């Protein structure tokens, strides 16, 4: 298995695609730019989804579902929104096909009176519903989340990281006051940060996007930014304060406690299957996928080793109580007793698929009351006593989760530095990583840096110290350093 994976240092892009393939996460689809998510990849997404869904519900949100198709006129109601998505929309113009010879063609008589847009995001269709749901302050807040697929017509795609169709969640909330909406926006940003760091073991930096990088139709966009092993940034999640823009576009008003009518305040926020790509590039190695235990579809795999039916019976009888104990502890464990594959093949397959901990049991282990434990993250193997093995495995899984985060955090710290001059910036950005530098706050300077270096302002950090200075490009005053990087 491992020999089929390109070394990261030789070709990082090919390494990424090899890991996806060998871990059996996804395949390219017959439809250009789309992907088939295989069971192992979908199980990983399901675990992400389950953890996030629990966090959403703990913060008072409910799940709902809105249509895949959006009337074209809806996207025209919010000017910034339609401008931001116009070039990415898939459009349905006809409603049926007709048979022609041995094939089919679009029936010209089925042309729709109004074209339908395949959902690129759902603000417009949702706010049309909110207009009917909201009359009074008593109807607020509305805290809705949707798990769905969306389509954005991307020209350059890569499995999980950027595809034409992808899976995601999108939260859409309505509030009586600006303060409540801003509080919600920040709350959900912190939910994403907690998920990234505590479940994905992926450290992130939180901040606000610049005006040119905001979500189309938002007044403020907050984000979490992660750093991949190749020194490029990945925007891993966004939370948007929409102000009253969509409420005004769809005339969503409510009667406040004083009997006056005013427009509702809004937020939206989302993460997608892009997180799977982020997880791969944060932790995996030249042997394949590495998954933090909290998200692993199988946290432990037990591989029995035997050469005869007699040995098989003895080994399985020895292993089964271990499996039962692990299941009782809530640990996801799989017994791989396939007879058509040798142990070496199984070891390589589970290694490529990122199973955090492997337990091997053979006749000698039965005889000596031992098992072999192999950690996926360090590839370390140890022979340990059978007694107390379930508790030891539980502790090891916690240790692996913690070690993965600490390793990623140390890597990010090593690749983060401050730069003061533009000459130095242009040299340092070639090395990759995060760079904090002063910027004068203008779109013109932001665009010059992007054109000169292919680096973008990933965010204006929420925790920046307020250290004033001079813009590295223009020498104009700067309110504080911002975070630059080249990005996916």
Q: What is the mean pLDDT of the chain?
A: 96
Give residue-wise pLDDT tens across range 468-488: 999 999 999 999 999 999 999
Burial tier of 62 (Cβ tally within 10 Å: 0-12, 13-18, 19+): exposed
Give residue-wise pLDDT tens across range 100-143: 989 999 999 999 999 999 999 999 999 999 999 999 999 999 99
Kindly write down the DSSP assignment for every residue of 163-187, as one continuous string.
-SEEEEEEEEEEESSHHHHHHHHHH
Give residue-wise pLDDT tens across range 344-402: 999 999 999 999 999 999 999 999 999 999 999 999 999 999 999 999 999 999 999 99
CATH code of the domain occupying 300-396:
3.40.50.800
Which secondary structure element, helix H or strand E, spans residue 93, and what is its range?
Answer: strand 90-94
Tell me the domain boundaries of the chain. 2-283, 300-396, 417-485
Cβ atoms of 48 and 275 within 8 Å: the answer is yes
Give residue-wise pLDDT tens across range 41-83: 999 999 999 999 999 999 999 999 999 999 999 998 987 887 8
In angstroms, the CA 406 to CA 416 distance is 15
pLDDT of 82: 79
Sheet holding 90-94, edge to edge: 69-71, 111-118, 90-94
16: tokens are 């990424």
Kindly write down the DSSP assignment for every residue of 306-317, as one continuous string.
-SSHHHHHHHHH
pLDDT of 3: 63
Query: Which class is domain 417-485?
Result: alpha beta
410: tokens are 């140390």
Residue with tokens 């300077």: 445
Give residue-wise pLDDT tens across range 306-320: 999 999 999 999 999
The domain covering 2-283 belongs, at the CATH homologous superfamily level, to: Bira Bifunctional Protein; Domain 2 (3.30.930.10)
């Amino acid at each position: 298995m491992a020999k089929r994976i390109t070394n990261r240092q030789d070709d990082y892009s090919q390494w990424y695609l090899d890991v996806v393939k060998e871990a059996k996460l996804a395949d390219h689809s017959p439809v250009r730019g789309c992907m088939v998510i295989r069971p192992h990849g979908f199980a990983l997404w399901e675990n992400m989804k389950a953890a996030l869904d629990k966090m959403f519900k703990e913060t008072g949100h409910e799940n709902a579902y809105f249509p895949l198709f959006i009337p074209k006129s809806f996207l025209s109601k919010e000017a910034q929104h339609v401008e931001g998505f116009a070039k990415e929309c898939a459009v349905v113009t006809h409603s049926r096909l007709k048979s022609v010879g041995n094939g089919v063609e679009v029936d010209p008589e089925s042309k729709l009176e109004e074209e339908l847009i395949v959902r690129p995001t759902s603000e417009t269709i949702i706010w049309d519903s909110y207009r009917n749901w909201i009359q009074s302050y008593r109807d607020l807040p509305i805290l809705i989340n949707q798990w769905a697929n969306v389509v954005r017509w991307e020209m350059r795609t890569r499995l999980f990281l950027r595809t034409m169709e992808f899976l995601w969640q999108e939260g859409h909330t309505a509030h009586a006051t600006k303060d409540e909406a801003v509080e919600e926006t920040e709350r959900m940003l912190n939910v994403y940060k907690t998920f990234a760091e505590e479940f994905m073991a992926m450290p992130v930096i939180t901040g606000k996007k610049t005006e040119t990088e905001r979500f189309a139709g938002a007044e403020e966009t907050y984000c979490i930014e992660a750093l991949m092993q190749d020194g490029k940034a990945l925007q891993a999640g966004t939370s948007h304060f929409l102000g009253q823009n969509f409420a005004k576009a769809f005339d969503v008003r409510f009667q406040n406690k004083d009997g006056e009518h005013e427009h509702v305040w809004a937020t939206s926020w989302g993460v997608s299957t892009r997180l799977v790509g982020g997880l791969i590039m944060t932790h995996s190695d030249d042997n394949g996928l590495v998954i933090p235990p909290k998200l692993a579809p199988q946290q432990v795999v037990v591989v029995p080793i035997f050469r005869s039916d007699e040995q098989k019976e003895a080994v399985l009888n020895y292993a089964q109580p271990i499996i039962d104990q692990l299941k009782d502890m809530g640990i996801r464990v799989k017994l791989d007793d396939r007879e058509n594959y040798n142990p070496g093949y199984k070891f390589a397959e589970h290694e490529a698929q990122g199973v955090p901990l492997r337990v091997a049991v053979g006749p000698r282990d039965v005889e000596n009351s031992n098992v072999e434990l192999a950690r996926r993250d360090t590839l370390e193997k140890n022979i340990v006593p059978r007694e107390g093995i379930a508790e030891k495995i539980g502790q090891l899984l916690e240790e692996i989760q913690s070690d993965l985060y600490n390793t990623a955090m140390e890597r990010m710290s090593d690749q983060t530095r401050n730069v003061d001059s533009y000459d130095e910036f242009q040299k340092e950005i070639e090395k990759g990583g995060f760079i904090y530098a002063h910027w004068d706050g203008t779109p013109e300077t932001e665009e010059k840096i992007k054109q000169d270096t292919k680096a973008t302002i990933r965010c204006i950090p929420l925790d920046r110290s307020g250290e004033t200075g001079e813009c590295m490009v223009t020498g104009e005053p700067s309110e504080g350093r911002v975070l630059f990087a080249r990005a996916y």
